[in-house]
Amino acid sequence: MDAATLVNGDDFCRAVELVINDQSLPAHLKAAMGGILDVKLQLNAVIKRNEELIEENAMVRAKNCDSVKLSDAHQCVRGSRSENGDPVVYKVDGERFEGGTRTLKFATNTRYRITLSSKPPAEFHHMHLAGCDLQLHTDDPKSGEYSTEWNTTGIDVCKKGARNNIGLTLQVRSSTVLGLFSDCAYYTA
């Protein structure tokens, strides 16, 4: 048995209980081991709650379509599946990949509704996402709110442990372009 299994698993608790129940050990050693077991159980509870909070936080961010800031003008881009409105989710990968600490997850052969909003309002004309030119639609160009649809049909699934760098550029007015790059993973829905 390796050290990680011993420290992190139920085997550690069982080993400590065996020591505590050993009649040949002095009482002060049994008390110390009991204290260690209590601390271990408390740490397990804290770790479990922390993992739950991290998961809840990720779900809330995904549900709210965690905004991606493109510039100081507070533009945000949100994505959701066209057929059911489920938001694009992300996975926290730490520093494992070049594009950042998060990986956006997109299903292949799926249509996504992409919405863009900016405050103060800006007039956007085109969006280029992952090699696709997308026409932006709005009811009022002065509102700063736009939408488009992006289809992932024909995009290859990422190999396990690999990420693609997805590029998003926006054309503002005549020639100004805003750019964003992020890691993403494509998977089979």
Together in a domain, 72 and 153: yes
51 with 143, same domain? no
49 and 85, same domain (yes or no): no
Could you tell me the residue range of the domain that residue 175 belongs to? 66-187
pLDDT for the residue 17? 74
| Same domain, residue pair 84 and 105 | yes
Give the end of a domain, one of 33, 60, 87.
60
Residues 28 and 111 reside in one and the same domain: no
Whether 127 and 76 share a structural domain: yes
CATH of the domain at 105: 2.60.40
Q: How many domains does the chain have?
A: 2
- SS3 sequence of the chain: CCHHHHHHCHHHHHHHHHHHHCCCCCHHHHHHHHHHHHHHHHHHHHHHHHHHHHHHHHHHHHHCCCCCECCCCCEEEEEEECCCCCECEEEEEEEEECCEEEEEEEECCCEEEEEEEECCCCCEEEEEECCEEEECECCCHHHCEEEEEEECCCCCCCCCCCCEEEEEEEEECCCEEEEEEEEEEEECC
Give the pLDDT score at 72.
Answer: 43
Q: What is the pLDDT of residue 113?
A: 92
Task: Give the pLDDT score at 6.
Answer: 44
Q: What pLDDT does 68 receive?
A: 37
Residues 77 and 163 in one domain: yes
Which of 38, 60, 82 is a domain's end point?
60
Q: What is the pLDDT along the chain (189 residues), one digit of tens a residue?
A: 444 444 455 666 677 677 677 777 788 777 777 777 777 777 777 777 777 766 665 555 444 433 333 344 446 777 778 888 888 877 777 677 666 677 888 888 899 998 888 877 878 878 888 888 888 999 887 888 899 999 988 888 888 777 777 888 887 766 656 676 677 777 776
